[in-house]
Amino acid sequence: MAGDGDANGDGATGGATIYHNPRCSKSRQALELLRENGIEPMIVKYLDAPPTVEELRTLIAEAGLTPRQAVRVKEQEFTDLGLLGVDDDELLAAMVAHPRLIERPFVVTPKGTRLARPTSAVEEIL
């Protein structure tokens, strides 16, 4: 996936990655928190370069969530696509095809993965 920072996940990044939407205030806050702690993460602009279904499945599982907990149900696409009653595989496929449906931001460090909502959840993995 395309991003800024150290693509190998080491060196200056401290092994951290943020799945980032620069237009999202929570995503900007999480990025700022990482930087305040001396971490320059690899930035994955997931709207431009969505994860694969398997990458997303792994990311969500490592955060201790289900796909249903990681989808933005208030997005118009959620309703338009009729996703209310679909199974996890269908939901993940829709999230990859329509990345605005992916809740954000996800932060990954060597200590774990968190959905940074609230932003303070990231502190557990610094």
d(CA 11, CA 39): 10
Cβ atoms of 65 and 57 within 8 Å: the answer is no
The 3-state DSSP class for residue 43 equals: strand
Q: Tell whether pTM > 0.85.
A: yes
Indicate if 24 belongs to the active site: yes
Which is the catalytic residue, given 7, 9, 15, 24?
24
pLDDT at 11 (0 to 100) = 42
pLDDT at residue 5 tops 70: no
Centroid of chain to Cα 9: 16
d(CA 6, CA 46): 16
pLDDT in tens, 24-47: 999 999 999 999 999 999 999 999
| Domain extents in the chain | 3-125
pLDDT at 28 (0 to 100) = 98
Q: Could you tell me the two tokens for 51?
A: 């994860």
Q: What is the CATH topology of the domain spanning 3-125?
A: Glutaredoxin (3.40.30)
